[in-house]
Amino acid sequence: MKTRIFTPGPTPLPEKVRLSQAKQIIHHRTKEFSSIFEDVCQSLKYVFQTKNDVLTFAASGTGAMEAVVANLFSPQDEVLVVRGGKFGERWENIAEAFGLKVTGIDIEWGRAPDPLQIREKLHSSKTIRAVLTQLVETSTGVRYDIESIGKVVSETSAVLVVDAISGLGAEPLLTDEWGVDVVVAGSQKGFMLPPGLCFVSLSEKARKLMDDATCPRYYWDFKKAQSALVKGQTAFTPAVSLICALRESLALIKEEGLDAVLERHRVFALAVRRAVSSLGLEIFAHPSSNAVTSILVPAGVEEKNLRKKLQENFGVMIAGGQGKLSGKIVRIAHLGWMDKLDIVGVIFALEMTLAHLGYDVEPATGVKVVQEVLMGKVAM
Amino acid sequence: MKTRIFTPGPTPLPEKVRLSQAKQIIHHRTKEFSSIFEDVCQSLKYVFQTKNDVLTFAASGTGAMEAVVANLFSPQDEVLVVRGGKFGERWENIAEAFGLKVTGIDIEWGRAPDPLQIREKLHSSKTIRAVLTQLVETSTGVRYDIESIGKVVSETSAVLVVDAISGLGAEPLLTDEWGVDVVVAGSQKGFMLPPGLCFVSLSEKARKLMDDATCPRYYWDFKKAQSALVKGQTAFTPAVSLICALRESLALIKEEGLDAVLERHRVFALAVRRAVSSLGLEIFAHPSSNAVTSILVPAGVEEKNLRKKLQENFGVMIAGGQGKLSGKIVRIAHLGWMDKLDIVGVIFALEMTLAHLGYDVEPATGVKVVQEVLMGKVAM
């Protein structure tokens, strides 16, 4: 059985990325490694759409979130967290672990925060040092309006910290232009790599916070990482094989062009949304992201069974719901190394599996819609 | 030019380890991954020689050192650090970053601590919560007598924390039997993997410290890691490809047998020491470890030149000195995936390079000694 992963991380690995990891290891304190790492650091700026340096750590994405909290804040600092899903809650949990004071904006899971509400909070509490939020809240599949939030936060002394772990490479994120101070990302999503690397970009405004921040850090120390980076190095032993693989995946992104990569994600997401809707299913997230589509499981179908049969009969792996959404939604990611036949394949398998489970499906309903979208016959 | 790495991390990757990373990614929240991870966790206990669980993190070794400090201690806690090289200093730096009070035992770089001196310190200051030290101080090449230190620390309420990043798999470490409470390791040394994974084992005595420890942690949280481990999972996204590769390298270690692996390291280290001495060079470390041999650069030879010519003419990469030892020593690692021809090769290249640089060498002096040691003609 061929396995096909449609989960919002990890995402499938392109052949060049896979094979690069089969090479013999190289030492990291060499010109050879520095040359690779410098190349990677340059390309990361392009994907992050920033003129600032992007720091790389050997860790998964949560590590980068913790690194931001440890480097920019002190115990008792107040931060505003958008609580719209599991990863918003993760910001809160990390901030609380480090003794910060968390003010929350609670939004219904499946919806995005209203930038005006953030504005109101920032103006009513002048002590808020940062807004911690997501580009895509992976657990719900919602895209947040970071451009508008950026405008709101830029008016204040607070910094805007965006977890773009699932969003980067799938959704536009004009880091500098939109006034996003900190962007966090991970390797196993739009970067088409195995998990094990995470990234942080920092604006001048964010860097200024480091001087007063007293939360303890050593491994995550941004100043150490920054000093090493200018010498083509990392502060501590880097995940060499993953960084070599990253060079390959960044080359693929540059070859296709970031705009084309984003457009591909937009069109595939549209195709999936339209196809799923044509089957009478309801999209859970509003606005639904271009990284992952969350779908309410229809009455009469058991979520676990749906995923199990997709896997058993088609080798297709999609994600279930997390936390309080467990059993209620399924999530189809169209993130990273995906092509048109992947998209039609997952819809084909979904249709057949729903029919198999007794849901009323006219054959090829969704498949036809995918084709129409990809032929440009649907308003984009 | 073939490249041959004789650095104390990263170490060469066996073919099975390399190729396993070229596989397509698998999702980590699956039975398939859990089965691999459970296998890995069992085998880690064997290599760590402990009945306790070994926790795995996506990070390099320094991350595991930080994790120990963050999980076991509170600001103002007193810890005793053996300052005998760069990695002893790293314990100190991390402890200080977290607000701990560090008492140091200063030893000459190139020498090992006297367990009685540690005993004295522990008895004169009853508030010392832990002794933080190394199995092998990579920067000097010295092996510390952890068995004796374990006896001394076991008499007290303090815990013994051993950074075995470079030592594990090269030196005997009877974790439970010797009363070692915490062992820290990394992937890119004796485990024959790329960097990017680190490991921590904890005794019951160490686990008890976690309840009162107030240093902040989230990504490193041992309780979260432990709860996930019993379900065949990690708390946060694991470095999947490295964990799959780890299964391969652990299979190699089990196939050879840990005792045989350690004996191989012992004999190779002996061969290198004897061969180097036969050339009139002086071993820097006492006692010299089985992971890496540090050698004083002889008068008239420039250290950078020696390493450069080894690389240029033989593709052989050895390490220089770190910190205050820069320019004074070179370090030849015989760590991980090494065989007899690797050992004779590095000595052959060293002899020829020294001769090339004007050092007086009778051809094959060292090579002959290697052969004698490997033939069992030298007292072992």
Whole-angstrom Cα distance, residue A58 to residue B194? 11
Q: With CB atoms and an 8 Å threshold, state whether B10 touches A27.
A: yes
Question: Beta strands B4-6 and B316-320: pairing type?
Answer: parallel
3-state secondary structure of A338: coil
- Name the 3-class secondary structure at B109: coil
A68/A38 Cα distance (integer angstroms): 22
User: Residue B92's closest chain A neighbor by CA?
Assistant: A218
Alpha helices (H) in chain B, listed in sequence order: 15-20, 31-48, 61-72, 86-97, 115-124, 146-154, 204-209, 222-229, 240-256, 258-278, 303-314, 340-356, 365-374
Whether chain B has a CB inside 8 Å of the CB on A99: the answer is yes
Mean pLDDT of chain A: 97
The pLDDT score that the predictor gives to residue B135 is: 98
Under the banding of pLDDT at 50, 70 and 90, the label for residue B379 is confident
Structure tokens at B9: 């991390």
The alpha-carbon gap from A91 to the nearest alpha carbon of chain B, in Å, equals: 11
SS3 A258: helix
pLDDT tops 80 at residue A54: yes
Q: What is the pLDDT of residues A166-192, one digit of tens each?
A: 999 999 999 999 999 999 999 999 999
pLDDT tens readout for residues A272-289: 999 999 999 999 999 999
Q: Is A253 on the interface with B (CB under 8 A)?
A: no
| Residue at token pair 């440890």 | A70
- In this prediction the ipTM stands at 0.96
Does the beta-carbon distance from B237 to A23 stay under 8 Å?
Answer: no
Q: Average pLDDT of B276-291?
A: 98
SS3 B103: strand
- Region B187-213: what's the mean pLDDT? 97
DSSP A81: E
Of all helices (H) and strands (E), which one includes residue B202? strand B197-202
Determine the Cα–Cα distance for residues A225 and A237; give it in Å rounded to an integer. 11
- Residue-level pLDDT at B378: 82
Token code pair at residue B320: 């220089």
CB atoms A194 and B237 under 8 Å: no
Residues A104-133 have pLDDT tens digits of: 999 999 999 999 999 999 999 999 999 999
Mean pLDDT for B276-287 is: 98
Pairing type for strands B292-296 and B329-333 reads antiparallel
Q: Does B124 touch chain A (CB under 8 A)?
A: no
Q: What is the mean pLDDT of residues B151-156?
A: 97
CB contact under 8 A, B28 and A238: no
Residues on chain A touching B22 (C-beta within 8 angstroms): 18-19, 21-22
Pairwise CB contact (< 8 Å): A217 & B97 = yes
Task: Please judge whether B99 and A216 are an interchain contact, meaning their C-beta atoms are less than 8 angstroms apart.
Answer: yes
Which residues from B are below 8 Å from A27, CB to CB? 5, 7, 10, 317
User: So what's the pLDDT on residue A101?
Assistant: 98
Comparing A377 with A196, which gets the higher pLDDT? Answer: A196
Which residues in chain A (134-163) have CB-CB distances under 8 A to chain B? none
Distance to chain A for B102, nearest Cα, Å? 16
Nearest C-alpha neighbor of B206 from the set B190, B226, B189, B187: B226
Q: Does the pLDDT at position B380 exceed 80? A: no
CB B218 within 8 A of CB A66: yes
CB atoms within 10 A of CB A108: 10
Distance from the Cα of B217 to chain A's closest Cα (Å) equals 6
Chain B: closest CA distance from residue A315 (Å): 12
State the Cα angle at A182 between A180 and A186, rounded to 5°.
120
Look up tokens 């480091």; give the residue. A210
pLDDT of residue A116: 97
Secondary structure (DSSP) of A97-164: HTTPEEEEEE--TTB---HHHHHHHHHH-TTEEEEEEESEETTTTEEP-HHHHHHHHHTSSPEEEEE-
DSSP assignment string, B139-152: TTTEEP-HHHHHHH
B292 with B334: CB under 8 angstroms? yes
DSSP A329: E
Nearest chain B residue to A95 by CA distance is B218
Beta-carbon separation of B61 and A237 below 8 A: yes
Q: Which positions ≥6 away from B370 have C-beta within 8 Å?
A: B271, B272, B274, B275, B343, B344, B347
| B378–chain A Cβ distance below 8 A for any pair | no
All domains in chain A, ordered by first residue = 15-255 (3.40.640.10), 257-374 (3.90.1150.10)
At residue A276, φ and ψ (nearest 5 deg) are -65, -40
Which whole number is the average pLDDT over B74-84? 98
The number of angstroms, rounded, from the C-alpha of B317 to the middle of its chain's C-alpha atoms is: 18
Which of A18, A60, A66 is nearest residue B58 as measured by Cβ atoms?
Answer: A60
Interatomic CA distance for residues A181 and A118, integer angstroms: 16
Structure tokens at B163: 């950074």
| Range 232-251 of A in CB contact (< 8 A) with B | 236-242
Interface test mutation site (partner B, options A11, A27, A76, max chain B beta carbons within 10 A): A27
Distance from CA of B116 to the nearest CA of A (A): 31
Q: How far apart are the first and last CA of chain B?
A: 35
Gap from B67 CA to chain A (nearest CA, Å): 9
User: According to DSSP H, which parts of A239-302 are helical?
Assistant: 240-256, 258-278
Average pLDDT, chain B: 97
Which of B6, B18, B27, B221 best tests the A interface by mutation, with the highest count of A CBs <10 A?
B27
- Looking at the predicted structure, is the pLDDT value of residue B45 above 80? yes
Q: How confident is the model at residue A89 (pLDDT cuts 50, 70, 90)?
A: very high
Whether residue B13 lies within 8 A of chain A, CB to CB, comes out as yes
Checking if the pLDDT of A379 tops 90, the result is no
Residues of B in contact with A99 (CB under 8 A): 216
**CA distance linking residue B348 with residue B351, whole number of Å:** 5
Give contacts of B63 with chain A, Cβ < 8 Å: 58-59, 219, 236
Q: How many CB atoms lie within 10 A of CB A58?
A: 32
Tell me how close the Cα of B241 comes to any Cα of chain A, in angstroms.
6
Under DSSP, the state recorded for A227 is: H
Q: Which residues pair with B182 in a beta bridge?
A: B161, B202
Question: What is the mean pLDDT of the segment spanning B199-210?
Answer: 98
Contact A58 B59 (CB under 8 A): yes
Closest by alpha carbon to B181, among B41, B40, B48, B39?
A: B48
Across the interface, do A237 and B24 touch by the CB < 8 Å criterion?
no
Q: How far is B28 from chain A (nearest CA, A)?
A: 8
Closest CB from B3, B98, B188 relative to A216: B98
Q: Is the pLDDT of residue A59 over 80?
A: yes
Q: Chain B, 195-214: which have a CB under 8 Å from a chain A CB?
A: 195-196
Closest-CA distance, B187 to chain A, in angstroms, reads 10
Pairing assessment for the beta strands A54-58 and A197-202 based on DSSP bridges: antiparallel
Q: Among B90, B223, B237, pick the best mutation site for testing chain A contact (most A Cβ within 10 A).
A: B237
The closest alpha carbon to B332, from B299, B360, B310, belongs to: B310
**A 303-332 residues with CB < 8 A to B:** 317
Contact A218/B93, CB-based, under 8 Å?
A: yes
Residues B129 and B127: their CA atoms lie apart, in Å, by: 6
A61 touches chain B (CB under 8 A): yes
Residue A380: pLDDT above 90?
no
Size of the A and B interface in Cβ pairs below 8 Å: 172
